[in-house]
Amino acid sequence: MHRRVITFSRNVFLPLTTVCTNACSYCCFKTPVREGCVMTPAAARLTIEAGVKAGCTEALFTFGERPGEVSGFSDHLAALGYGDILDYCYDLCEYAISAGILPHTNAGVLTYGELDRLREVNASMGLMLETTADVPAHRNSPGKDPAVRIAMMEDAGKLRIPFTTGLLIGIGETPADREESLQVIAGLHRRYGHIQEVIIQNFCPKEGTEMGGAATVPTAEFAETITLAREILPSDVAVQIPPNLADAAALIRCGVDDLGGVSPLTIDYVNPEHPWPQIEELKGLLGDACLRERLCIYPGFIRKGWYPKGLAALIRRLQNQIEERSL
């Protein structure tokens, strides 16, 4: 009998800024405009280089949504020589490629034109749907409008961008809302074929936030959602859980295919109180399943050629690198 395979990506996390126009009730990632609110080019390059030396294959670029719309932010960005955070991200993606690591960018809601430009320097991209429901946790977050996020995911499909999305469980949505969210994602993939993975992420209360005293979703309910995801999503879409937030050992058998990006160097800046398990720890969580490393662009999309032609050589080299590591 063949052993079940669970995959993961070895990444390095680069939060270019934590300034954000949204104000979600559960978020501790967002910070005000202040000195040091933008990661400097020197710090970003050092992090990228350290990631390459550590064998990472993915540079995860993320930042708050539309930070340029927050008063005072543009001055800090201008001090680094940039007028737009997306220009800065583009240049750092180019640097990552030159250093030997594949960029994956999650920049919040982007227009079709912005997606089209950034896909030139990214192997894959992403945006969490979170939920199709109108929940109080998002009342001060215009970028979390489900229709806006779904429209961007559709644009990514039109552009043939290998795409990551997901649900955030326990922020006020109902089980019926979760089912609807999964059906929407499945429908987008059936139409465009671009969703490579769907993260099923459990809400973790953060001290000092509006929802800091809220309860997280029970393990049994979380397991039911994972099972539902595996039933609803097409078979070529991976179901992913974050192993630093959830009891992976208890959930693997519910239909989990992937454990996402795990970093040997950087913390999870969105959930800093939850350290990453290291690779050997992950192996111990899987029972009879086999852990296998992957790139941020899944093999099916590599075979289809859904990546910038300038990344072809790097993708081949990094694929060979992880195959040699697995021997």
Question: Using only C-alpha atoms, what is the Rg of the chain?
Answer: 19
Tens-digit pLDDT profile for residues 108-119: 999 999 999 999
Band (pLDDT 50/70/90 cuts) for residue 224 is: very high
Q: Give the mean model confidence (pLDDT) for residues 210-220.
A: 92
pLDDT band with cut points at 50, 70 and 90 for residue 234: very high
Name residue 13's beta-bridge partners.
60
User: Is the Cα dihedral 21, 110, 24, 123 positive or negative?
Assistant: negative
Tell me, what amino acid is at 166?
G
**In the predicted model, what is the mean pLDDT of residues 40-68?**
96
Tally: H helices and E strands in the chain: 11, 9
Residue with the two structure tokens 């209360």 = 205
pLDDT of residue 238: 98
> Do residues 137 and 22 lie in contact, with contact meaning Cβ atoms separated by under 8 Å?
no
What is d(CA 324, CA 289) in angstroms, rounded to the nearest whole number? 20
Angle at 174 between CA 208 and CA 239, to 5 degrees: 85
Residue ranges of domains in the chain, CATH in brackets:
5-326 (3.20.20.70)
Query: 268 falls in which pLDDT band (50, 70, 90)?
Result: confident
What is the pLDDT confidence band of residue 269, given thresholds at 50, 70 and 90?
Answer: confident
Asked if residue 20 belongs to a known ligand binding site, the reply is yes
pLDDT in tens, 194-211: 999 999 999 989 888 999
SS3 (DSSP) at 14: strand
**Of the candidate ranges 71-75, 129-133, 213-217, the one whose mean pLDDT is the lowest:** 213-217
| pLDDT (0 to 100) of residue 277 | 84
For residue range 280-317, what is the model confidence (pLDDT) as tens digits?
888 888 878 899 999 999 999 999 999 999 999 999 99
Q: Helix, strand, or coil here: 154?
A: helix
1 pLDDT higher than 60: no
Q: What is the mean pLDDT of the chain?
A: 94
DSSP string, 20-61: -S---TT-SS---S-TT-B--HHHHHHHHHHHHHTT--EEEE
Find residue 293's DSSP bridge partners. Answer: 8
Contact 230, 4 (CB under 8 A): no
In this predicted model, which residue has the larger pLDDT, 118 or 244? 118
Distance between CA atoms of residues 103 and 51, nearest Å: 12
2 pLDDT band, cuts 50/70/90, is low
Angle, vertex CA 156, rays to CA 254 and CA 136, nearest 5: 65
% of the chain beyond a pLDDT of 90: 83
Task: Consult the annotation and say whether 27 binds a ligand.
Answer: yes
The confidence score (pLDDT) of residue 327 equals 62
pTM for the full model? 0.95
Interstrand relation of 124-126 and 5-17 (parallel, antiparallel or unpaired): unpaired
- Residue whose structure tokens are 């430009």: 117
pLDDT exceeds 80 at position 267 = no
Task: Tell me the C-alpha distance between 68 and 75, whole Å.
Answer: 9
Which of 169, 238, 176, 175 is closest to 201 using CA atoms? 169
pLDDT at 16 (0 to 100) = 97
